[in-house]
């Protein structure tokens, strides 16, 4: 609050340069906001700065004392909004994430889905084997709806600790999958141990082989480590849509259009034994990459 009062005093002393005073108000506001925001999300400060500068430029003809009064009032209103956002941010975030999850589920229900080569690995799983389902980051969205069918196996899925990962983790829970939070860039070792333990118990898990940041088409070592530690077979799966949008992201993320015909195809089971000498680890990773890479989709410009 001291910053806000200081902003008001500064504006009154230097009223002939109210625009500069407005910058001071803004900086004071940012200090208050960031003092209570560990992530320092600058969306709201930037928005208020643009509104504030617009207000100052349009109100130069207003009487000096009126301008100062309005300036102080608006500054305190900004602070009230900030504190309100901070107070209810967690609730709002949860509500937004829940809404997004329902949107994703409803949107996925519009796909006309065809599933191929599923029974082979399901028979292996029900016979007591362990299965690690793997996909490219580009193609996992189209499979979300169908993976609800596996919830009785209590499967797990490694998901990054990013804000995007929060939404995916909530969707995974709704589909009956247990999210294990971590990635190659953050808490990867801890997450790897947890998903190995869960795969040994439930016998089914999923993994995005090039997530969460790529590079696209390059399989990371985690999938081989998980498969070897649990003696699980790797089953790649791929999705293809007759109509889809492709994002301009690192992986050309695929989003099938509403009512698109989507094919979910499971590949053959691949076994990588842990008993093989360590020098073959990279050879196994490269082998899996060579098997899966041809299924990556390069959108036509």
Instruction: Single out the residue in 47, 82, 106 at which a domain terminates.
Output: 106
pLDDT digits (tens, 9 = 90+) for 10-52: 444 444 444 444 444 445 544 444 444 444 444 445 545 555 5
Reading the block at residue 2, the tokens are: 């001291």
Least confident of 69-78, 245-254, 257-266: 69-78
If asked whether residues 177 and 125 sit together in one domain, one would say: yes
Top pLDDT among 47 and 280 is at 280
Top pLDDT among 205 and 98 is at 205
DSSP assignment of 223-267: HHHHHHHHTPEEEEEEEEESSEEE-SSTT--EEEPTT-EEEEEE-
pLDDT given at position 51: 53
Residue 301 is assigned to a structural domain of this protein: no
**Average pLDDT in the 41-69 region?**
54
Closest to 179 (Cα-Cα) out of 212, 228, 219:
212
pLDDT digits (tens, 9 = 90+) for 106-155: 999 999 999 999 999 999 999 999 999 999 999 999 999 999 999 999 99
If asked whether residues 100 and 117 sit together in one domain, one would say: no
If asked whether residues 85 and 230 sit together in one domain, one would say: no
pLDDT given at position 99: 85
Mean pLDDT of the chain, nearest integer: 78
pLDDT given at position 299: 77
If asked whether residues 101 and 115 sit together in one domain, one would say: no
pLDDT digits (tens, 9 = 90+) for 145-196: 999 999 999 999 999 887 778 888 888 998 999 999 987 667 778 899 999 9
Q: 173 φ, ψ to 5°?
A: -65, -40
If asked whether residues 115 and 262 sit together in one domain, one would say: yes
**Average pLDDT in the 98-107 region?**
87
If asked whether residues 129 and 214 sit together in one domain, one would say: yes
Top pLDDT among 301 and 107 is at 107
pTM for the model stands at 0.70
Cβ atoms 81, 29 nearer than 8 A: no
Residue 171 is assigned to a structural domain of this protein: yes
If asked whether residues 129 and 274 sit together in one domain, one would say: yes
Q: How confident is the model at residue 280 (pLDDT cuts 50, 70, 90)?
A: confident
If asked whether residues 178 and 256 sit together in one domain, one would say: yes
Name the helix (H) or strand (E) containing 291: helix 281-292
Q: How confident is the model at residue 229 (pLDDT cuts 50, 70, 90)?
A: very high
Instruction: Single out the residue in 106, 125, 140 at which a domain terminates.
Output: 106
Residue 152 is assigned to a structural domain of this protein: yes
Domain that holds residue 182: 110-295
CA 149, distance to chain mean position in Å, is 23
Q: Which residues neighbour 131 within 8 Å (Cβ) at sequence distance 6 or greater? A: 121, 124, 125, 203, 204, 205, 232, 233, 235, 269
Q: How confident is the model at residue 230 (pLDDT cuts 50, 70, 90)?
A: very high
Q: How confident is the model at residue 91 (pLDDT cuts 50, 70, 90)?
A: low
Q: How confident is the model at residue 80 (pLDDT cuts 50, 70, 90)?
A: low
**Average pLDDT in the 248-277 region?**
89
Reading the block at residue 224, the tokens are: 């081989």
If asked whether residues 119 and 265 sit together in one domain, one would say: yes
If asked whether residues 114 and 88 sit together in one domain, one would say: no
If asked whether residues 102 and 47 sit together in one domain, one would say: yes
What phi-psi label fits residue 49: left (phi over 0), alpha (psi between -120 and 50 degrees) or beta? alpha
* Residue 256 scores a pLDDT above 60: yes
Residue 130 is assigned to a structural domain of this protein: yes
If asked whether residues 99 and 121 sit together in one domain, one would say: no
* Residue 54 scores a pLDDT above 60: no
Q: How confident is the model at residue 95 (pLDDT cuts 50, 70, 90)?
A: confident
Residue 39 is assigned to a structural domain of this protein: yes
- Say how many domains are in the chain: 2
pLDDT given at position 214: 82
Count helices and strands (H / E) in the chain: 9, 10
């Amino acid at each position: 609050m001291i910053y806000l009062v200081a902003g008001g005093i500064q504006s009154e002393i230097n009223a002939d340069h109210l625009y500069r005073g407005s910058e001071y108000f803004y900086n004071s506001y940012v200090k208050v906001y960031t003092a209570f925001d560990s992530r320092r999300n600058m969306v709201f400060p930037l928005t208020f700065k643009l509104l504030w500068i617009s207000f100052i430029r349009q109100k130069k003809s207003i009487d000096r004392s009126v301008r100062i009064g309005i300036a102080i009032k608006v500054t305190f209103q900004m602070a009230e909004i900030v504190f309100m956002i901070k107070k209810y941010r967690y609730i709002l975030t949860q509500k937004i994430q829940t809404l997004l999850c329902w949107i994703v589920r409803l949107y996925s229900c519009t796909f006309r889905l065809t599933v191929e080569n599923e029974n082979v690995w399901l028979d292996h799983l029900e016979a007591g084997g362990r299965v690690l389902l793997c996909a490219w980051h580009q193609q996992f969205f189209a499979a979300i709806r169908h993976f609800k069918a596996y919830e009785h196996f209590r499967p797990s899925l490694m998901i990054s600790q990013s804000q995007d990962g929060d939404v995916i983790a909530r969707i995974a829970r709704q589909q009956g999958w247990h999210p294990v939070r971590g990635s190659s860039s953050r808490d990867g070792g801890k997450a790897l141990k947890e998903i190995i333990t869960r795969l040994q118990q439930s016998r089914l898990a999923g993994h995005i082989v090039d997530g969460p940041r790529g590079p696209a088409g390059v399989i990371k070592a985690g999938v081989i480590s998980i498969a070897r530690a649990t003696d699980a077979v790797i089953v790649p799966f791929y999705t293809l849509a007759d109509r889809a949008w492709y994002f301009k992201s690192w992986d050309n993320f695929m989003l099938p259009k509403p009512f698109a015909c989507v094919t979910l195809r499971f590949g053959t089971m691949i076994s990588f034994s842990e008993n093989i000498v360590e020098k073959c680890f990279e050879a196994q990773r490269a082998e899996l990459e060579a098997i899966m890479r041809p299924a990556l989709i390069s959108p036509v410009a």
